[in-house]
A = this chain, B = another copy of it.
Amino acid sequence: MMAEPVPKPGLISNRIRTLRFHHGEMSQAELGERIGVTRQTIAAIESGKYSPTLEAAFRIADVFSVQLGEVFQWDANAGNRAQT
């Protein structure tokens, strides 16, 4: 045994990249500055390496003037889905 050396595909997806481009091609660095985290953190969140804290999630939605649910989507059924 011993598996999962991989990150976390995760049940939570996000639309950060799209939203950044729809907001003047905002860079990861600028978004990071605006919400108070580093650009590496934005990159990690955007690529789904891990999920942001609830506060960071609220702040990101605020930057784009949308609801939290329009940035992050949680798949309630991931995990217990039919196999094929």
Contact = CB atoms under 8 A, between A and B. Distances in A.
A58 B11 CA distance: 11
Contact of A53 (B51, B68, B69, B76): B51
Contact of A52 (B12, B54, B58, B69): B54
A19 interface: no
| Copies assembled | 2
Interface size class of A (residues with CB under 8 A): 10 to 19
A74 B61 CA distance: 11
Contact of A67 (B11, B62, B69, B76): B69
B53 A74 contact: no
Given A11-B55, A53-B53, A54-B72, 5 more contacts: A52-B54, A54-B54, A54-B57, A54-B74, A68-B68
